[in-house]
């Protein structure tokens, strides 16, 4: 690719910004379009057939409008369901975000890992297959969080979120008591959760390793785009909300876009 590639990053809301910031750092030469399907947020509360029926045609419209070279589905709740449908329907490359169970289980010393995701992600067949194939003998606890994605959205929007609200969602990840056998690794299986990582680290009953797949996704995107010729795309970046709301979050969003002005 000799021109500045366009990368479309898609999520149900603002969580995909945690993936975007890693991709932008890896590929500053690209033009970015971030799409938050906030009109349908949260995906974790929708049935599987509703998400497929929503995302597949919407992606067709977005591809028609923005003509991206590559799409990142920066949402576990969607990726674990729609990636195969998108790849069958459209010919450009799609990079998904799925629970990082393999690296987490490879790293755990106590052999006890928790996967913190939306209620949708933890009940997916895709997630269960990852555990069957890659748990490597670890005991994996699936924790479906009903509200953490919404809490992360609210905090990013400048609202106060209480410790007790966060802890209520987080506590089931911490299993066991004996330091040699209790949970030592938590997979952040929703792109919203790294937005609350500093708070989760403070609230955790004991220290664990938190696994965020965003750096690995950025490497995959960069490999697919081919060699980075240098330079920074001058074309700014676009932020689209499917609700058509005016975001008014520019100062908050700019760091996720590597300092670019966000239209
Ligand atoms: N950011 C999405 C994910 O990675 C989920 C949030 C939602 O429920 O819409 O799973």
What's the pLDDT tens digit per position in 181-206? 999 999 999 999 999 999 999 999 99
* Confidence class for position 2, pLDDT limits 50, 70, 90: low
Buried b (16+ CB within 10 A) or exposed e, 151-163: bbbebbeeeebee
Among residues 75, 105, 138, 173, which one is catalytic? 75
CA–CA separation, 102 and 84 (whole Å): 20
What's the CA dihedral at 63, 77, 117, 157 to 10 degrees? 50
- List, in order of start, the domains of the chain with CATH numbers: 6-97+215-257 (3.40.50.1860), 101-212 (3.40.50.1860)
Q: Is 190 part of the annotated catalytic residue set? A: yes
Task: Decide: 127 in ligand 1 pocket, CB within 6 A.
Answer: no
For residues 72-88, average pLDDT = 98
Supply the mean pLDDT for the chain: 95
- For 243-262, write each residue's pLDDT tens digit: 998 777 778 889 999 988 88
- Work out which ligand 1 atom sits closest to the CA atom of 45: 8
pLDDT of residue 203: 98
Task: Decide: 41 in ligand 1 pocket, CB within 6 A.
Answer: yes
Q: How far is the CA of 133 from the centre of ligand 1 (A)?
A: 23
pTM, whole model, 2 decimals? 0.96
* Confidence class for position 1, pLDDT limits 50, 70, 90: very low
Q: In what order do the strands lie in the sheet with 185-188?
A: 139-145, 112-118, 185-188, 209-211
- For 96-106, write each residue's pLDDT tens digit: 999 999 999 99
């Amino acid at each position: 690719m000799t021109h500045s590639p366009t990368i479309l990053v898609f999520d149900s809301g603002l969580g995909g910004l945690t993936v975007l910031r890693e991709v932008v750092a890896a590929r500053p030469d690209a033009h970015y379009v971030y799409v938050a399907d906030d009109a349908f947020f949260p995906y974790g509360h929708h049935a599987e057939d509703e998400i497929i029926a929503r995302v597949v045609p919407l992606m067709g419209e977005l591809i028609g409008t923005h003509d991206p070279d590559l799409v990142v589905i920066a949402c576990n709740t969607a990726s674990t369901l729609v990636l195969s449908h998108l790849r069958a329907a459209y010919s450009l490359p799609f990079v998904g975000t799925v629970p990082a169970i393999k690296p987490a289980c490879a790293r755990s010393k106590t052999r006890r890992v928790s996967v913190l995701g939306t209620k949708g992600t933890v009940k997916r067949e895709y997630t269960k297959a990852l555990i069957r194939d890659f748990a490597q003998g670890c005991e994996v606890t699936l924790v479906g969080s009903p509200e953490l994605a919404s809490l992360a959205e609210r905090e990013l929007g400048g609202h106060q979120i209480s410790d007790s609200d966060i802890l209520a969602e987080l506590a089931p990840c911490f299993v066991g008591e004996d330091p040699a056998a209790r949970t030592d690794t938590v997979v952040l299986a929703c792109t919203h959760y790294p937005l609350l990582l500093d708070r989760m680290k403070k609230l955790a009953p004991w220290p664990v390793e938190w696994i965020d797949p965003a750096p690995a996704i950025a490497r995959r995107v960069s490999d697919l785009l081919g060699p980075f010729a240098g330079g920074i795309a001058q074309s700014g970046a676009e932020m689209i909300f499917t609700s058509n709301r005016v975001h008014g979050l520019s100062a908050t969003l700019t760091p996720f876009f590597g300092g670019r002005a966000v239209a």
